[in-house]
A and B are shown apart, each in its own frame.
Chain A
């Protein structure tokens, strides 16, 4: 493997790890604050799935980097600008509707994404994807049901769902922009590659999301604004706060175990 491929692979895997960790950490904030006990446990379970996924990616990233660092070094000792997660993952939970709509949009995306990643030329990535897609199909089943239920629920629930969709919509284009690393690891069209071509997922994603939103009585907003830049370390003001809470223990007591 050449040096530049190695760097691209590291950046690619790190981006996937950051996406999973930040969404997992964000979702874990629901723990003890869920709308009722059963949903609270389900949300905490979801958060743990993402943190488990993050670990697999960080462990691999640390190995590719080959500098003797661990998954914990990558998760706890990098600053805001070094995190390359997509912005949609770091947005605050706001309310249950917002969390559910975000999860639904990301679950549809993750299903498509992981299906392709499971065919990656990189064996480790294809194994991680094959493992993660099982839980993602379950996540989608859950979030899909909630979108339908709240979209067709009361006037209040439908309004909150529509507000959430309107707010989140501008953060979805970033899901379909390939980073430099991803481009470097993508083959020609139809050829086996290491990374997934994000652009190629857009059509199917939009089709599925649009159909389900229609069934749920929600309206797909006009795409007249967008926020991008997470992969380059350009984040919203919310990421720093999330990181400070997540990292404080390791920053205060480096290497602490429990």
Chain B
């Protein structure tokens, strides 16, 4: 057996109808084993109805040093926000 050094990220859907949320990570040899460990480590108090696991190395993540080019350009474009529109009272939760 090779050393179990693959890291997996775990996503749980807690109730029907909502999105999967990232809850943590774990080590496993295979995706199937990652799924069983996710079941044992993250759902033992009935936290979930569906589990996704994905190899951490398969996730492409944005980098801290990209923040300037990624997010700063949004700062001076308030017109992209819907806050200039007057919402009818009937529309909740915007």
Contact = CB atoms under 8 A, between A and B. Distances in A.
Interface string B27-48: 1110011001101110010000
By size class, the interface of chain B is 10 to 19
A174 to B, nearest CB: 29
Number of contact residues on A: which range applies? 10 to 19
Interface string A35-46: 011110110010
Interface string B1-34: 1001000000000000000000000111100110
Given A149-B1, A153-B1, A157-B1, A45 B44 contact: yes
A36 B36 contact: no
A124 interface: no
Nearest to B8: A38
A179 interface: no
B36 A37 contact: no
B1 A45 contact: no
B41 A41 contact: yes
A38 B37 contact: yes
Contact of B40 (A41, A149, A157): A41
Contacts of B37: 38-39, 41-42
8 contacts: A36-B4, A41-B40, A42-B36, A42-B41, A45-B40, A45-B44, A142-B36, A145-B32
Q: Which 5 A-B pairs have the closest CB atoms?
A: A153-B1, A42-B40, A38-B37, A45-B40, A38-B26
Interface of B: 1, 4, 26-29, 32-33, 36-37, 39-41, 44
